Amino acid sequence: MRSPRSAGAAFLLVLSLACACAVALALPTASLAAGRITGGAKAPDAQYQSHLRSLVALVSLDEPSQYDGQFCAGTLIDELHVLTAGHCLVDDGDLRTRISPTSFAVLAGTPNLSKTSLRRSELVPVQSMFINPNFNVRTMRWDVAVLRLTRPITNVPVAPLLSPEEAAALGLGTSTFNGLVAGWGDTDPDFDDCCFPFTLQSVAVPLHPDSECTGNLAAAPYLSFSGEFQLCAGRLGRGTTFGADACQGDSGGPLYVDAAGGPRLAGVTSFGVGCGQRFYGVYARATTIMPWLASIPGATPGDAREAINGPGDLAAPAAVASRPVSFDKVELTITPATTGAAASGYTMWARVGAPAVAEDIFLGKTTSLTARVTVPPINVAHPYDVLVRPVGDSGEGPTARVKALPVLDQVKPTVPGGLRVANKRATWRASIDRQSLIHQYQVQVFVGGSWRAPKVVKARTFAIGSASKVRVRSMDWADNVSAWSAPVSA
């Protein structure tokens, strides 16, 4: 999953520092960085054992190895919960597309990524994701999320968060002192997708007063710094020499500081502009997010609540049923949960794609117990999952899932018109399909006395090479195929 590391696992890919997770964000294409280790070195064994064992890798399940699949980092804050960056889990700037929990897993207890295999037995699946409801991809405030795992991780310690009292004693926000960042991100931001190590890297970085952060980042494009929600750290480079910073692929990972009680998690790697160059890296401030973390049952050590419900003690709806309405619409009936906090509404999502590449696409929000939703342009000839999540002040709760199948579209699209050939290239006009819409076209060429196997194209143009004739037909999202157009000679 190389691109998430170089652009942010979902959308900050276009930002150069913050996004270790890949988000095709609808922001200007600036060189914002997505979390990375620059100016560091292989984490020493003693340092790994004392400070970094709670650091985990987020690994895509659609890649051949752990090394290829790593796109973000995180920190184990409870045996069942990992703290990471919110932007690691979203695929667009409006937060309307998210990666599915089925598409990635967590690797814990090792500083090394396998280059040869996913080693699935070493990966812990993700059960649920909770993104902070205040996360804003334009300001990057509240850039945090919690992963709930399917089974506890017991072979590594959890990371204590820096308390407000410890932060005050250190002078966080008013003084300069050293912290530690680590990850498997880019070590040389001058070259895209170049220098990702398979062994964990770390580097000491100075944390700066809020006033210095504000001044340094005032000239950074598109994003600003807020001392209420963020802190900044890093050593700036000189000339062609990089300073010390995180880089693409390190997003979601920890910023540690040493307090009187030992190592403490002070921040979550969020964003920056470049890696160890003109601007400091920015981190979500741990002391600010502590009340939200405490709202998630079982997410913090000592919380005796069972880790079933979501933020604000929201439980999944007791039942959801669907009824087909048309070729692209279904009606949902929701039965509220009988335990946990009362929901103020529900969000609805379509889960599309095979599990290892699945995405959740936002369909709408309702305060009613019945809702009619329009599905996205997927192949609606096959069942898909509709997800319903309760909503409260602290965010979304766990998911209820229902299989949905709209009324099948059995009407064929129109035959493509206007087929013509010029300069060995065929072009044609768009077909019409008033139900599930046109999905693609199939082009067939006549060579050596026979029609060759059809080629699938999205655009309405095709290079026919040495063919003597060509014809085309259309296919809609329900797999209905039009008749072939009349052949046209080259």
Positions marked active-site: 87, 143, 251
Please give the helix or strand (H or E) that residue 210 lies within, else none.
helix 210-217
How far is it, in rounded angstroms, from Cα 234 to Cα 208? 8
Question: Tokens 């044609």 map to which residue?
Answer: 428
Q: 257: which 2 tokens?
A: 């500081």
Biggest CA–CA distance in the chain, Å, is 84
CA 180 to CA 202: how far, in whole Å?
7
Cα R_g (the chain), whole angstroms: 25
Q: Which residue has the tokens 């002078």?
A: 171
Q: Which long-range contacts (CB under 8 A, 24 or more apart) does 290-297 make?
A: 290/161, 290/163, 290/164, 292/132, 292/144, 292/394, 292/395, 293/77, 293/83, 293/146, 293/161, 295/394, 296/81, 296/130, 296/146, 296/394
Q: Whose CA is closest to 456, among 470, 437, 468, 472?
A: 472
DSSP string, 43-95: PPHHHIIIIITTEEEEEETTSSSHHHHEEEEEEEEETTEEEE-GGGGBSBTTS
**Cα–Cα dist 474/434, whole Å:** 13
The rounded distance, in Å, linking the Cα atoms of 274 and 434 is 47
Q: How many CB atoms lie within 10 A of CB 449?
A: 6
Q: Which of 6, 54, 1, 416 is nearest to 265 (CA)?
A: 54
